């Protein structure tokens, strides 16, 4: 059973470009969480999704950020018109619902 | 507001020594508390989980304690190894309508030979 997969592992974007981060949950997991981690900071909750539904997006900025978890395929975190402040490590975690969260290796986004 | 505070922020110990990391939380109502280990450049990996009724739980050289009355937890590492160098994160999950966990900022542990 493969673990949570994220790609790309490293992403470099120039200011104003779009960043697309992908997360494939563990097999059988229908719940996905996205977190952001700044250097020397703890993980901050962004959004919680189930298949085809956004359950809680209270931690995600209202502008430029969006997330989806389609019926088929990975969950996508999209950041439009990136700014330098978006540079961070983005982690996704999956679970069966209320159980242990299994984390992916993260995507490190660098905005030039 | 749900908060998780960890101390110390960083810790340096010699290989073979023991250490204890602390976690205080205000999350309520409480469902469970997990300790995660995060190696540099990797995602967190769960070490232990504790529910309201549990006081102590061990996983190899890791022993976690929980005092639900004072809302405190500790993670004790015995006979430290170089591979224990990592960030240790305390994560508390509420019960009730929200399942969103609250993360501490972590304790950065460095084990020197």
Q: What are the residues whose beta carbons fall under 8 Å from the beta carbon of B29, sequence distance 6 or more? A: B94, B95, B96
List pLDDT tens digits, range A24-35.
999 989 999 999
> Rounded CA gap, B109 and B14, in Å?
11
Most confident of A21-25, B90-94, B96-100: A21-25
Element (H, E) at B66: strand B62-67
A32-51 tens-digit pLDDT: 999 999 987 889 999 999 99
Please judge whether A98 and B99 are an interchain contact, meaning their C-beta atoms are less than 8 angstroms apart.
yes
pLDDT band at residue A90 using 50, 70 and 90 as cut-offs: very high
Nearest CA in chain B to A4: B43
Identify the DSSP state of A25.
P
In the predicted model, is pLDDT for residue B60 greater than 70? yes
Interface A–B counts its CB contacts (< 8 A) at: 46
| Rounded-to-integer distance, Cα B5 and Cα B22, Å | 8
**Would an 8 Å CB–CB cutoff place A42 in contact with chain B?**
yes
Cα–Cα distance for residue pair A110/A13, rounded to 1 Å:
6
Q: How confident is the model at residue A20 (pLDDT cuts 50, 70, 90)?
A: very high
* From A42, A48, A106, residue closest to B100, measured CB to CB: A48
Specify the 3-state DSSP secondary structure of A28.
Answer: coil
CA distances from A79 to A67, A104, B3, B8 (A): 9, 19, 27, 34
CB–CB contact A42 B103 (8 Å): yes
Q: Show residues of chain A in contact with B89, CB under 8 Å.
A: 42-43
């Amino acid at each position: 059973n493969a673990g949570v997969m994220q790609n790309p592992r490293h992403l470099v974007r120039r200011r104003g470009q779009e960043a697309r981060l992908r997360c494939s949950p563990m097999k059988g997991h229908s719940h996905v969480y996205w977190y952001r981690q700044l250097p020397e900071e703890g993980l901050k909750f962004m959004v919680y999704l189930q298949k085809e539904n956004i359950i809680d997006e209270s931690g995600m900025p209202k502008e430029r950020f969006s997330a989806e978890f389609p019926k088929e395929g990975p969950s996508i975190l999209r950041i439009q018109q990136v700014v330098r402040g978006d540079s961070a490590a983005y982690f996704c975690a999956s679970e069966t619902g209320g159980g242990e969260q299994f984390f992916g290796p993260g995507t490190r986004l660098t905005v030039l | 507001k749900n908060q998780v505070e960890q101390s110390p922020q960083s810790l340096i110990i010699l290989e073979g020594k023991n250490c204890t990391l602390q976690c205080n939380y205000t999350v309520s109502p409480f469902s469970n508390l997990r300790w995660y280990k995060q190696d540099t450049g990797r995602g967190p990996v769960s070490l232990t989980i504790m529910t309201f009724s549990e006081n102590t739980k061990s996983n190899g050289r890791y022993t976690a304690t929980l005092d639900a009355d004072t809302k405190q937890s500790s993670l004790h590492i015995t006979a430290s190894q170089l591979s224990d160098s990592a960030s240790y994160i305390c994560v508390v999950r509420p019960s009730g309508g929200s399942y969103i966990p609250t993360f501490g900022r972590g304790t950065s542990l460095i084990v020197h030979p």
